[in-house]
Amino acid sequence: MNIKNILLIGAGFICLGFGAVGTVFPILPTTPFVLLAAACFSVASPKLQSKLKKSEFFRQYIEYYENNTGVPRETVRKSIIIVWIGLIISILLVRKLWATFLLTAIGVGVSIYLRSLIKE
């Protein structure tokens, strides 16, 4: 295995880690990180890419992109609700005006992005 493949596999796992964190914390977008991990694995290790595509946890993110079907409306709706619940809890815990504005802006941006994933 050459250095390029080692670096790509490492980058793939880092991106996958960020994608996993993004499923819990709405500040990190999950889909772009999972797709980037799949791209890294496709060059460096088709075996890892295959495992990623078969993963129960990440498979749907890759399938939506590959099939160009978009994310189901119900999934987007649930995601937006989870994002806003997390942000509202954070706002209530922090209780700083600047944090309220920042978290609200992040919530609006993430909501717009999630909405854009729906194919009409």
Name which of 39, 37, 47, 36 is nearest 1 in CA terms. Answer: 47
Q: Is the pLDDT of residue 93 over 90?
A: yes
- Largest Cα separation within the chain, whole Å, is 52
| pLDDT tens figures, 9-49 | 999 999 999 988 888 776 677 888 898 999 999 999 999 99
Map out the domains of the chain as residue ranges: 3-66, 73-116
What pLDDT, on the 0 to 100 scale, is given for residue 26? 66
Please give the average per-residue pLDDT across 52-72, as a whole number: 85
What pLDDT, on the 0 to 100 scale, is given for residue 47? 95
CA–CA separation, 34 and 52 (whole Å): 9
pTM: 0.65
